[in-house]
Amino acid sequence: MWMSIHSSMVMKMMRTIQMTIEEDLLTEVDEVVQVKGTNRSAFIREALEDALRRYRIAQMEKQDAAGYARHPAELDEFQIWESEQIWGDEE
């Protein structure tokens, strides 16, 4: 019983939206959802979540690059870690 109550509390709110999509793209989506055994909504939600994840990663990469542009690494900054990179008997 606790599991069903907990599961219903965790469910996300869903909204129905309307969107416009090219016919050939919709045909391709329909082919994929049939193979995957899912539906259009689930497939598009997954695609949107993946696109948002990739967008957030790209934003973090831009922030990282901007930080290094403002404060470039010194030539000897990472030499202290060279001994940590040794993997076994390397001579």
Q: What's the pLDDT tens digit per position in 65-84?
A: 999 999 998 888 888 777 77
Find out whether 38 and 32 touch, Cβ atoms under 8 Å.
no
pTM confidence score:
0.67
Average pLDDT over all residues of the chain:
87
Instruction: Tell whether the model's pLDDT for residue 23 goes beyond 70.
Output: yes
Residues 83, 88, 90, 91, Cα dihedral to 10°: 90
